[in-house]
Structure 1
């Protein structure tokens, strides 16, 4: 019984995610698997890789597949808005990323739909932070 409770506790805290697409190349390739520690908005830090639910924006729903996204945090709430990195945010009046929002970018700009196009992502949509990449021979 204790083993079952331990496994259940681990599954509540961690999830394994398979990367789809080329948005995180060269850091991650399509088919790579990563271990994600579930966290709330307070656990989001600039520079970390995170897994997030996609935007709920109607524009995203048209023609975009569902599923989680893997992106890098470019700025968290309270940090300066990275206008040079995210053109969709260039005309925003605020100097700092608003509470409850986060700026997410893929490492491969040519293949990534991210804050460059969509602006802010909701911090409460972040599932967790990537804590490790599994070796490709474990696929």
Structure 2
């Protein structure tokens, strides 16, 4: 095997390794519904970087697992790597562990004055007027956080360049 063959093979393995790592760290999610308008619209696709709660900042747009009506969070194990069989919410993180519980969420979680968000939870709210979020479900468990939205992807059939308008 020549030196060039070794370099090409090593480069190919490096690219393959990087692709595997990125696939585990990045996920594309399609926005369904109007709860994040005007920030995101129904049908928008976003790129999500997997993050733990400690890496989320207040104001970040996040993706969290949707609770099942009447049951709460999925009977499935927390979404570490397997995403199938789950429904996702795209919302804004408005309060993190140790932050005061927002007044609009306090009645849902039974929080009194001066209460703070628990250690392994976050409060998420949609940007739109109609949103099923912490005002309905209370605290979202950190283990049900998929990650943070880092980019909006081009819509199918649209040019790949920046959107103007």
Pick from 20, 31, 42 the counterpart of residue 19 of structure 1: 31
Q: Mapping of 1:60-79 within 5 angstroms?
A: 66-79=86-99
Rg comparison, structure with higher value: 2
Q: 2:140 aligns with which of 116, 121, 124?
A: 121
Q: 1:97 to 1:59 in 2, by over 3 A?
A: same
Structure 1 ranges of 4+ moved more than 6 A: none
TM-score by length of 2: 0.72
Give deviations 1:78-101, integer Å, cap 9, x for gaps.
Answer: 111111x33644741361101111
Aligned length: 134
Within 5 Å, give how 1:1-139 maps onto structure 2. 1-55=13-67, 58-59=70-71, 66-83=86-103, 85-86=104-105, 88-89=107-108, 91-93=110-112, 95-110=115-130, 112-136=131-155, 137=158
Q: Is the 8 A contact 1:21 1:29 kept in 2?
A: yes
> What is the aligned-residue RMSD (CA, Å)?
2.3
Cα deviations across residues 15-36 of structure 1 (Å, max 9, x unaligned)? 1111111111111011101111
Query: Is there any run of 5+ residues in structure 1 with no aligned partner, and where?
Result: none
Q: Which runs of 5+ in 2 are unaligned?
A: 1-12, 74-84, 161-165
TM-score (norm 1): 0.85
